[in-house]
Chains A and B, each alone.
Chain A
Amino acid sequence: MDNLLLKAILVALVTWIVFADKYLTQFFTYRPIVLGPIIGLVMGNLRVGLEVGVMIELMFLGQVFVGTALPPEETFSTIIATGLAVVAGGSTEVAVATALPVAMLGLFAMQLRNMVLCVWTQRRLEAAVEKHNLASMKWNALVMPNVFNLFLFAIPAFLAIYFGAGAVQSIIDKIPPVIMQGLNVGGKMIGAVGLALLLKSISSKALWPFFFIGFVMAAYLKVNIIGITIMAVVFVALYYYLFVKKNAAENA
C-alpha cells in the first residue's frame, strides 16, 4: 500500500487524459483493453490490468453507440475496477463485482454532463456567437467540457482509489470464498453478453452460416483469432467477386 496517494493522483491524471481523448482525438485509449493495462502499470500490477481489461472489453464488446441512447460507461468502469482489483492484492473477482455498478455510476455522470452541464455550455456558446466572441466560443465548446470531465470522472477516480482501498480490503476479507469463486466463474461467462449484443446489432439470417464456420474453425481446427480474421477477409472477397461484382456486371 506504499505511495497510495501518488498512485491515486496518477490514476486521476490518466482518467482526465483518456476522457479528453474520448471527446477529442478519439485514439481509443479509453477502451478497456487499452486502459486496463495502463491503469495496471500505474498501480504497479500489469497482469491484473490486462486481466481486467480483457474481462471488461468482452463485457462491452457489443457496445455500439445507437443514436442518443448512452451505454454504460466502460471507461470509468475499467479505471475503478482495475484500480481496486490491484489494491485488493490482485483480486480480479473485485473487478468482476465492481465493473457493472461503476459503469452505471459512470453512465449517471455522463447523463448529467450531456443533459445539464453541456446544455448549459451550448446556450453560452450560442450567446457567444451572437456577440462574435471567439474566445468565449472556444471556452464553451472546448475548455468547459474538459473541466466537467475533471469533476465528474477524474476527481471521483482519485477518491475511489485513495479512500476505497482500505474499505475494499476489509470487505474482501469478509466475503466467503464461494462468492469469490462464483464471481470468477461468472466473469468468464460475461463475454457472452457483449457477443450477443454485437450479433444482434448486425443480425440477419443469411449470416449465421458464417458464424458457425468461425466457431468450427476455432473449436475443432484450433485456428487462432488472427487466422479466423484472415479467413473472414477471404469470405468477404469471395462474396464480393462471386455476387456483388457479377451482379453489377450483369446489370451494366
Chain B
Amino acid sequence: MENNTTPTVQDVESRRLTKQDLWKIYINSQALACGFNYLKQEAPGFTMSMIPVIEKCYTTEEEKIEAYRRHTELFLTEARLSHIPIGIAAAMEERYALEGDIDPASINEVKTALMGPLAAIGDSLYHGTWRPILAGIAISLVIASNYTSIVGPLMFLILMAVSGQLLRHWGVFSGYKNGAKLVAQLQGSDIMQNFSQLTAIAAFTVLGGFASRFVSVNTPISYKAGETVVSLQSILDGLVPGLLALLFTGLVYWLIDKKKVSPNWLILAIMLFGIVGVWLKFLS
C-alpha cells in the first residue's frame, strides 16, 4: 500500500460481494457433490462454489490461484448443510482479499471444524428423519390408492426438493452474513443435542407405525379344533394385530444391531426364506 497504485476506496468497494453474487454462489454450489471422489470428497464442488467469490474479490492471477488451491482440499459434509460453510468461506475470502486482516489458513480451519457436526446433524435430521417420514407418507398414500395414484410420490418430490433448496439458499446467505457468529451459536449451546433427541422421538414414533403398515408376514398354518378350522394367523392377529410382522422386524433388527449381519445378506436370506416358506407351506 506504499506506492502510488494504492487502490481507492471505490475500487475496494466494487470488489465487495453483492446479493447478486450470493445468488451466483448458490447456483454454482449446486455442483457440490458432482465431482465427488474418494481422494478429496466434495472438493471439486466446493471449488465450483467459490468461483464467483474468487474471481470478483481478488485482482491478481497469483492471488486467485492461491485461493482456489485452498478449496481443492478435502471437504465432506451433508450436501445441504454444507452450504453454511460455503457462505462462511465466501465471507472469509472476501475479508482476506479486501481487508487482509485474517489468516488465510483459518478459512480451511473453519471449514474442517464444521464438517463433523454438520454431517452428524444433517444425516440424522435430513436423511434419518425427514426423508424416511415423507417417504413413509408417500408409500402409505400409494398403497391407500391401491397403486394407482402418484399424489404421494409427487408430494414427496416437491417437499424434498423445496426443503433441500431452501436449506442450501439459507446456508449460503446466512453463512455469508452471520459467519463465525452462526458457528458459535451452533456449537456453544445444547441445540445440537436437543435437536437430535427431538427428531429421534419423531422418527421412532413414525417407525412404529411403519412396522405395522409396511411389513407383512402371513402364515396359512391352521389346525382343526373339533369341526372348525382355526387359522394361526387369525389367532395371533386377535392377540396383537400384525404380531408376526412385529416379531419379524424385531428379529431383523436384532440380527443387524447385535449380530452385525450385513443387510445385503439379510435381504437375500429373506427372499430365500420366502421361497422356502411358500414351498413348505408355512408362509403365504
User: A residues bordering B, Cβ < 8 Å?
Assistant: 22-29, 31, 33-34, 36-37, 46-47, 50-51, 53-54, 57-59, 61-68, 72, 96-97, 100, 104, 114-115, 118-119, 121-122, 125-126, 129-130, 132, 134, 137-138, 140-142, 144-146, 178-179, 181-193, 195-204, 207-208, 210-220, 223-226, 228-229, 231-233, 235-236, 239-240, 244, 248
Contacts and interface: CB of A to CB of B under 8 A. Distances in A.
Nearest to B73: A126
Most chain A Cβ neighbours within 10 Å, of B44, B45, B76, B144: B44
B249 A182 contact: no
A126 to B, nearest CB: 5
B206 A214 contact: yes
9 contacts: A25-B30, A27-B157, A64-B123, A119-B38, A132-B61, A184-B274, A193-B263, A215-B209, A218-B209
Contacts of B140: 224-226
| Interface range on chain B (Cβ under 8 Å from partner) | 35 or more
B68 A132 contact: yes
A125 B208 contact: no
Contacts of A196: 249, 252-253, 255-257, 263
Interface string B209-224: 1111111111000000
Contact of B253 (A200, A217, A226): A200
Summarize B's interface: helix, strand, loop or mixed: helix
B128 interface: yes
B240 interface: yes
Given A61-B132, A64-B127, A215-B209, A28 B256 contact: no
Given A132-B68, A214-B211, 9 more contacts: A27-B164, A122-B72, A145-B44, A186-B272, A191-B215, A193-B270, A198-B132, A228-B209, A239-B201
Contact of B135 (A61, A203, A219): A61
Contacts of B255: 196
A204 B35 CA distance: 36
Interchain residue pairs A-B with the least CB separation, the first 4: A214-B208, A186-B274, A182-B275, A118-B37
Contact of B212 (A46, A204, A215): A215
Given A58-B214, A179-B275, A229-B206, A66 B38 contact: no
Given A33-B135, A37-B153, A125 B203 contact: no
B198 A189 contact: no
Contact of A28 (B157, B204, B216, B217): B157
B266 interface: yes
Contacts of A233: 202
Nearest to A21: B161
